[in-house]
């Protein structure tokens, strides 16, 4: 069955460092991969999309990579800030892109 | 635009009672989704719909039914609530367009079954 794994449930880093979150998938051949941010008590908010033919995508301090050989996406936040503290979710989608299934998420805590 | 609105925001049910959660979106989106979120389990897809009159099962459909009679509304029903259905429920909608369209989420419904 299809499986999505995000590297760890919690990641603690110091302000100013780069946070790297991992999304691994098995029994999937996604054509797209989306990343969302979720704050406590709120619904997820879309951050970035990367396509299978794109190796890297950037948006301000965010960078996403997509390696279809390794079946992995990496999500980087550079110069992290306490305001970046949240849970980050990945969602690989197949070509049809209808079912939107998420990994369990990684909770990032950035301390000042 | 209100976006995605879930009704109610909180509810306490007794075991065996039934209820319907309403999700309404005003963005003319084709796709709509219902999720439940439990500590340590992440966001799990219950059912989804790719258009008016259509529904499909997600990862954890048992114990729930859905209906999409109007494009803007997606209803989630619990026929006989169980304590295991205590959770936070989120609804989302997306435009059609394969995987490139982002999902917009409601504010969640916190349901407790006692």
B contact test, residue of A7, A45, A95, A98 with most B CBs within 10 A: A98
Cβ <8 Å between B100 and A42: no
CA distance B70 to chain A (A): 19
> pLDDT-derived band of residue B1, with 50, 70 and 90 as boundaries?
low
**In the predicted model, is pLDDT for residue B98 greater than 70?**
no
CA distance B28 to B8: 21
Q: Are B105 and B6 in contact (CB under 8 A)?
A: no
Task: List Cα–Cα distances, A107 to B15, B39, B84, B88, in angstroms.
Answer: 33, 12, 24, 18
CA distance A41 to chain B (A): 8
Whether the upstream peptide bond of residue B8 has omega within 30° of 0, thus cis, is: yes
**In the predicted model, is pLDDT for residue B99 greater than 80?**
no
Mean pLDDT throughout B2-16?
Answer: 96
Regions of chain A with pLDDT less than 70:
none
């Amino acid at each position: 069955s299809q499986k999505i794994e995000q590297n760890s449930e919690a990641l603690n880093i110091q302000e100013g460092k780069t946070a790297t979150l991992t999304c691994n998938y098995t029994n999937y051949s996604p054509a797209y991969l989306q990343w969302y941010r979720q704050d406590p008590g709120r619904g997820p908010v879309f951050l970035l999309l990367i396509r299978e033919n794109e190796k890297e995508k950037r948006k301000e301090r965010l960078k996403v990579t997509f390696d279809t050989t390794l079946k992995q996406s990496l999500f980087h936040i550079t110069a992290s800030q306490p305001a970046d503290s949240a849970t980050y979710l990945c969602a690989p989608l197949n070509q049809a892109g209808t079912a939107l299934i998420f990994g369990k998420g990684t909770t990032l805590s950035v301390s000042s | 635009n209100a976006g995605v609105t879930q009704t109610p925001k909180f509810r306490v049910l007794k075991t065996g009672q039934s209820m319907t959660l309403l999700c309404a979106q005003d963005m003319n989106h084709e796709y709509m989704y219902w999720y439940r979120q439990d500590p340590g389990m992440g966001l799990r897809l219950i059912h989804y719909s790719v258009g008016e009159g259509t529904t499909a099962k997600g990862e954890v459909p048992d114990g729930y039914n859905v209906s999409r009679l109007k494009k803007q509304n997606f209803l989630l029903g619990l026929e006989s609530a169980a304590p295991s259905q205590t959770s936070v429920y989120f609804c989302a909608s997306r435009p059609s367009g394969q995987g490139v369209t982002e999902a917009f989420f409601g504010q969640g419904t916190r349901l407790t079954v006692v």
